[in-house]
Amino acid sequence: MSAGLGRPVSAAAAPARPLPAARPAGAALTLVALSTAGLVVSVQQTMVIPLLPGLMTTFDASVTAVTWVFTASLLAGAVATPLLTRFGDMYGKKRMILLAIGTLVAGSAMCALSDSLAPLIAGRALQGVSVSLIPLAIGTIRDAFPADRITTAIGVVSATMGVGGAAGMLVTGLIAARTTSHAPVFWIAGGLAAAGMVLIALCAPQVGERAGGRPDLPGAALMACWLVCLLLAISQGNTWGWGSPAVIGLFAGAAVLCAAWVWLEMRVREPLVRLALLTGRRSLSANLASLLLGFALFAMFTLIAGFIQTPRERFGYGLSGSVLDVGLYMLPSTVTMLGFSVVAGRISARIGPAFTLAIGSGFVAVSYMWLAVSHGHVSDILAFSAIQGIGFGIAYAALGTLAVQHVPMGESGIASGINSLVRTAGGSVAGAVTSAVLAGLTIAGTSTPTLHAYVVCFWIGATGAVLAALVAFTHGLRHGHM
């Protein structure tokens, strides 16, 4: 096997130090700390979404430019996740978790102090580095928890991605009802992150230590470049023209840079992303399902806020809701996601994580189909929210287990990190694609999307979830329940 596809030399020479499983009381405190930190990280991903319309006015910016306040965070997370999770396997996951949440504190302060769009986007990118905390937390659970508690614990931490996302919009809504400034939202995010940092420092164990190694910085740079090219082309396609030299050049650049990145990762001794963990026989389907689910989840976040706030009396659709209403309408999702993330552990133990993932993805697809067909009443949004919460609660709990169950313990961090990377990439593409659709189908004389544009996006989200269910079901048939 080539060096790029095999185990890094330094990693093989210095296996992870075996640590005893955490005692029940210690495991409970660790789970509380990891879940709290994961919740804070997820909150920052979506708390800006209800603010986007107001930021357009505040900074006199276009919808495409303001969308990068959201997309920049996802992009930074996509680049940072494999790097920090690799460091977690080499130098200890707790250290990297503290580093990740520390960037959230710093990025929040930068966003709060920003008085123009550029530093706000830069601060959001810094916040996005914290996304790597979720796979690091999953790797910590697998390394340190008793075997009979791993599946449930992974489910709880995984569920924080959706729960925190819904909570982020609710927090923003409560603040926006009292002030038009974006600063309080980010000061609160920074304070929550600081509290999570203290919990991690006091309660989380240090696991996954190795003798060291060298980071693949060229690999990280190449990956960042091709992702930026891809997302910029998608987001600017309507503005610049899909056949324009700039857009075609960006797509071509993304393809060339991606090919160069793959070539480099196959040859470097210690690659940023070991491609066997990305495209291996059992990894490929788990990562593809993660990509599709990430697309479906973040498509929901970017669509719902705008749809709910569209004035019905002026445009003939929407709910004329406030920023606070956006968070309130997503509360059913928070409740069902938490409840079913715990149930998912028992389902997975009975039928296996792959079939469990297929079931969860099916619920997500049904929720989008509901909204595509019926979207005229508050009850439709509430039903969508509750059903989608069930789906993501089950699906993400199963996905966290599926991503790491087939890899050596010493690579649990990077395996979970790669799975999180493709999920974040899917979310980045979702934001760009939905923005492109909404910007391309607008009501004459306005920049407001048509109802048809939203319906098209709902069907796109449903398609992503259906494909994720099919991928997971096929994985279960090919590889069995385990």
CATH number of 431's domain: 1.20.1250.20
Asked whether residue 470 carries a pLDDT value surpassing 90, the answer given is yes
Give the contacts of 299 (CB within 8 A, at least 6 positions apart): 430, 431, 433, 434, 457, 460, 461, 464
The answer as to whether 14 is a domain residue is no
pLDDT at position 70, please? 77
Do 97 and 78 sit in the same domain of this protein? yes
Examine residue 402 and state whether it is found in any structural domain, yes or no: yes
Residues 254 and 358 in one domain: no
> Residues 6 or more apart from 217 whose CB is under 8 A from it?
none
Give a yes or no: residue 183 inside a domain: yes
Choose the final residue of a domain: 271, 286, 306: 271
Whether residues 185 and 232 share a domain: the answer is no
Q: Are residues 296 and 335 in the same domain?
A: yes
Reported pTM: 0.74
* Predicted pLDDT of residue 340: 85
Q: What is the pLDDT of residues 72-117, one digit of tens each?
A: 887 787 778 877 887 887 778 888 899 999 999 999 999 999 988 8
154 shares its domain with 240: no
Q: Does residue 203 share a domain with residue 107?
A: yes
Render pLDDT for 429-459 as a digit per residue (tens, 0 to 9): 787 788 788 888 888 888 789 999 999 999 9
DSSP string, 7-24: --HHHHHSPPPP-PPPPH
* Residue 44 confidence (pLDDT): 79
Q: Is 421's pLDDT higher than 80?
A: no
pLDDT band at 465 (very low <50, low <70, confident <90, very high): very high
Predicted pLDDT of residue 405 = 67
Verify that 221 and 129 share a domain, yes or no: no
Does a structural domain hold residue 399?
yes
pLDDT above 50 (res 16): no
Q: How many domains does one find in the chain? A: 2
Helix, strand, coil shares, percent, the chain, to 5: 80, 0, 20
Where among 228, 256, 271 does a domain terminate? 271
Q: Which of 226-230, 257-261, 282-286, 406-410 has the lowest mean pLDDT?
A: 406-410
In a domain, 425, yes or no: yes
Q: Give me the long-range contacts of 311-316 (CB less than 8 A, separation at least 24).
A: 315/443, 315/446, 315/448, 315/451, 316/451
In a shared domain, residues 253 and 285: no
Q: Are residues 244 and 211 in the same domain?
A: no
Q: 367 and 336, same structural domain? A: yes
Q: Which domain covers residue 252, as residue numbers?
A: 216-271
In this structure, of 36-50, 379-393, 399-413, 464-478, the range with the lowest mean pLDDT score is: 399-413
- Residue 1 belongs to some domain of the structure: no
Q: Quote the CA–CA distance of 43 and 35 in Å, as a whole number.
A: 12
CB-CB neighbours of 306 under 10 Å: 23
Say yes or no: 308 and 423 in one domain. Answer: yes
Report yes or no: 310 and 319 within 8 Å, Cβ to Cβ: yes
Does residue 200 sit in helix, strand or coil? helix
Predicted pLDDT at 279: 67
Q: What is the pLDDT of residue 280?
A: 66
Q: How confident is the model at residue 14 (pLDDT cuts 50, 70, 90)?
A: very low
Same domain, 338 and 465: yes
Please name the residue that has the structure tokens 């900074």.
59
For the cut 50, the answer to whether the pLDDT of residue 139 exceeds it is yes
Lowest-confidence region among 16-20, 386-390, 461-465:
16-20
* Among 234, 250, 271, residue at a domain's last position: 271
